[in-house]
Structure 1
Amino acid sequence: MTSSQDALLPGTQRALLHRIAVAQREGRTPSLVAAVVRDGRTVWHGARSSVEGHAPDENVQYRIGSITKTFTAVLVMRLRDEGVLDLGDPLEKHLPGTAVGEATIAQLLAHTAGVAAESPGPWWERTPGSLRPELSDVLGEQPLLHPAGRLHHYSNTGYTLLGALVEELRGAPWEEVLRREILEPLGLHRTSAQPQAPHAGGWAVHPWADALLPEPAEDLGRMASAGQLWSTTGDLARFAVFLAHGDERVLSAESVLEMRTPAAPAEAPDVVDGVSYGLGMQLTTRDGRLLVGHSGSLPGFLANLTISVEDDLAAVVLTNCTSGPSLGTVGADLLRIVAEAEPRIPEPWRPLREVDPAALELAGQWYWGTGAFGLRVTADGLLSLAPLTGGGRGSRFRPNGDGTWTGLEDYYAGELLRPVRRPDGSLSHLDLGSFVFTRQPYDPEAPVPGGVDPEGWRGLD
């Protein structure tokens, strides 16, 4: 991936710079650095700093806090894809003796395991990890606060357990597995568990004075898999491309899509903002866009990675203050600026290379009850079902090679679409997960469940 200021129009670049300049000034932070990714490459990088002439570039490390959790989740998903574990497995099956063994791996990934948010000892973000050498030190005497699977409760200690799970099943330290399985294949050479020069220092800014206090940069020890990493805008831009499109060397596109799919509701105060959680990824809706990614914070640092898959855009924002600008808002604004100023040019329409007569026979108008739907055969060889008027359920379907099709999205994801034929071989109707779709509303010649009144359609006396 290369950085090119020429890829965006000058007016767009100025709007992006203005946004981060306002964030750095109003957020009162020593420095703020950002990058925008479009179509798989970095197209803009900007920075603002309190030190004149020392604006950080895309290779300066900042601590990224809980964005680390997304890396840990990728490691767990790799274990799943290899068949080493199932997301429905209880933790006890692979990591016995933790006192939270009944929680499933999926629940830990989605923060629905009921595990406490923090370690019960001294403030873990500002104290050495050597104070918590064992999992029992991290979890304490009462690690479970809620029944597993009942609600979303964000948990740093839950991701500590997932890091321990990776170590147990790989037989190597979490950091070593991370470097071998994610960082090296994706070329994230400036992402590390310990800071590597050049890196920013972490600061606290006095709330009522323009004064600074240096923050400690502790090694989190056992809790590293929840928030240890340092990274750069350059590396996180590459990571964003992976999270949007997948990379077969690390994780398939299907598996990263699963990570981006809601797996848990939000905690009650966040529901109104449309915030939910997938498997190691935060999901929110802003400006009519579904945004995925993760935020991060540790004393002295804030971080945010935001992706709009539909726009093929991503933004990375990093800063070195304990509290200050809302980086989630900044990241969403950077995406909005580019999407509105330079909307994505769609790919040209292209026809099918080959026409499948069996698929073409299914195309056209269908009715589910009285609801009208259109079924199209698209150039990628899929079927696309969508309501013709009003609301309704739609999906794309992939062929299974036996005349049936499997849904790919939303309500019909995984459901089977089966063309049903009459004894003479002609097409009768479509069976979609037991729902009957007919060529005419309640077609009397099709086996509509409950039957069709023999007197047919009529007026009202």
Structure 2
Amino acid sequence: MLQTTEFALLRRVAAEQAENRAPSLVTAVVRGGEVLWSGARGEVDGATPTTDTQYRIGSITKTFVAVLVMRLRDEGKLDLNDALDKHVAGTPFGHLTIAQLLSHTGGLMSESPGSWWERSVGGDWDALLDRADEDVVKHRAGERFHYSNIGYGTLGRLVSELRGMSWVDALNTEILAPLEMARTTPMPAAPHALGWAVHPYADVLLPEPTPDAGAMAPAGQLWSTVTDLSRWARFIAGDSGTVLHPDTVDEMRAPAAVEDGPVWTTGYGLGLQTWRDNGRRFAGHGGSMPGFLASVVVDPATTTGALAMTNATSGVGVSTLTVDLLKLVDDYEPAMPAEWRPLTEVSQELLALTGTWYWGPTTFVLKLMAGGWVDLRPASGAGRGSRFRPAEDGAWVGLDGYYAGETLRLHHHADGTVSHLDLATFIFTRTPYDPKAPIPGGVDDRGWRPGD
């Protein structure tokens, strides 16, 4: 990167570490498939921490658990609308759906019943259930976003039940090994930072405990490094390798609930936090455990991302810092647009479908994309538009916008020529209200005529 860019990044990190008294602070910026820059301030064991120094990442753990759940969904082993009881029996909140647990909209209490779980040695699943009763549900399901750590402890149990192994073993096999994230572990492995509380009125430290959280571990147990968390930032941006289809990652980033009303700036998807800022959309997650703070944020549109980890209980603005680093890079060195290249192969039948279609009198345009995908949207204005991915039966399935999840089908006349498109019962024809197409309600035999 340019020297001016690197200086601006390091200056921002240095200010955060000094002004907010972080014992140590490590950061990195990624774009596309590489780490553009990393920086560190403070000390671990008397030396500047490196990209291989472990820090506890707290609730960023939830993003890994969510990916394990989405893999189960993509394999057909569960549906996000399934009630928890279908897969994990015996809880007082078995009526909640998997999607509600993922998005913190089930109304569950924020912490687990009993002692402060983040500073306590955790018990097993049965011990957690023994402490839970009907009072664990604080809000009507779907009523609001209410962050729930016990919900993610439960999702970890769900993974264990359906995989027949611990959630950690599933994590190692299905995510960490394929992504070569060998330094992401449930307990610290040297070299690692110690967790500290910084005295509010004196420059002195108090060590924080880092116990195994047991059944609550899926909510915040993991440790990681700059190298590994940089790979995870790329994953959240869409570089998901063989672990998850990029469309599923995109689904996870979409807000299922918002926290601040209709003109929202912060929300939560399926295991990922999401933000809006001056027309830009960010996704990622923060993490907080006694002695540690962490944040990873990406802009999927540019694939630029940033991360930060510190070994302080509070006071260090890692979330703001990561967004600032991301913006600095995009301001100083914006990403180059990808080169346009023509398609290497094309179906002549699909090519013949491109161009103008009409929903009633409204003009739509269908465009051909790579891989046989199509894009259908109004010729002007916002309106209802979506991208569609080919399905096995010759139809297409909507990926986004109004028609997400809906089916687009092509119909023919008896002579084989194209008759119309059927999209979620809406009929699209080559001319406005084509009388040869099965328009619901029929088309007046007198056709188009002057007004009276």
CA deviation after TM superposition for structure 1 residue 447, in Å: 5.0
Q: For residues 186-225 of structure 1, what are the structure 2 equivalents within 5 Å?
A: 186-225=179-218
From 227, 231, 238, the counterpart of 2:231: 238
Is this contact kept in 1: 2:257–2:269, CA < 8 A? no
Is this contact kept in 1: 2:93–2:134, CA < 8 A? no
Quote the residue 1:456 is aligned against.
Answer: 448
From 148, 152, 155, the counterpart of 1:162: 155
Q: Unaligned stretches of 5+ in structure 2?
A: none
Distance change (3 Å), C-alpha of 1:176 and 1:351: closer
Is this contact kept in 1: 2:413–2:419, CA < 8 A? yes
Quote the residue 1:261 is aligned against.
Answer: 254
Q: For residues 39-188 of structure 1, what are the structure 2 equivalents within 5 Å?
A: 39-49=32-42, 54-130=47-123, 134-137=127-130, 139-140=132-133, 142-188=135-181
Q: Unaligned stretches of 5+ in structure 1?
A: 1-7
Hey, what's the Cα distance between the residues in 1 that align with 2:361 and 2:128? 58
Residue 247 in 1 paired to residue 241 in 2?
yes
Paired letter, 1:299:
P
Name whichever of 174-183 and 284-293 sits farther off: 174-183
Name whichever of 51-60 and 239-248 sits farther off: 51-60
Q: For residues 407-446 of structure 1, what are the structure 2 equivalents within 5 Å?
A: 407-442=398-433
Count of equivalent residues: 450
Superimposed CA distance per residue, residues 4-31 of structure 1 (whole angstroms, 9 cap, x where no aligned partner): xxxx222222222222222223333222
Q: For residues 307-346 of structure 1, what are the structure 2 equivalents within 5 Å?
A: 307-346=298-337
Hey, what's the Cα distance between the residues in 2 that align with 1:458 and 1:19? 68
Quote the residue 1:18 is aligned against.
Answer: 11
After TM superposition, the score normalised by the length of structure 1 is 0.88
CA deviation after TM superposition for structure 1 residue 384, in Å: 1.9
Let me know the Cα RMSD of the aligned residues: 2.8
Quote the residue 2:341 is aligned against.
Answer: 350
Name whichever of 98-107 and 415-424 sits farther off: 415-424
Quote the residue 1:38 is aligned against.
Answer: 31
Distance change (3 Å), C-alpha of 1:80 and 1:121: same
Hey, what's the Cα distance between the residues in 1 that align with 2:182 and 2:88? 31
Is this contact kept in 2: 1:115–1:143, CA < 8 A? yes
Residue 373 in 1 paired to residue 377 in 2?
no
CA deviation after TM superposition for structure 1 residue 67, in Å: 0.6
Superimposed CA distance per residue, residues 199-224 of structure 1 (whole angstroms, 9 cap, x where no aligned partner): 11222233344443332223212211
Quote the residue 1:305 is aligned against.
Answer: 296
Name whichever of 316-325 and 398-407 sits farther off: 398-407
CA deviation after TM superposition for structure 1 residue 173, in Å: 3.1
**What SS class does the counterpart of residue 15 from structure 1 fall into?**
helix
Paired letter, 1:386:
R
Residue identity (%): 54
Distance change (3 Å), C-alpha of 1:427 and 1:174: closer
**What SS class does the counterpart of residue 307 from structure 1 fall into?**
strand
Hey, what's the Cα distance between the residues in 1 that align with 2:201 and 2:412? 76
Superimposed CA distance per residue, residues 298-329 of structure 1 (whole angstroms, 9 cap, x where no aligned partner): 11211111122211122111112122233222
Distance change (3 Å), C-alpha of 1:430 and 1:385: same
CA deviation after TM superposition for structure 1 residue 430, in Å: 2.8
Hey, what's the Cα distance between the residues in 1 that align with 2:165 and 2:394? 46
Distance change (3 Å), C-alpha of 1:35 and 1:84: same
Superimposed CA distance per residue, residues 268-289 of structure 1 (whole angstroms, 9 cap, x where no aligned partner): x476542222221111112422
Distance change (3 Å), C-alpha of 1:22 and 1:370: farther
Distance change (3 Å), C-alpha of 1:377 and 1:273: closer
Name whichever of 442-451 and 370-379 sits farther off: 442-451
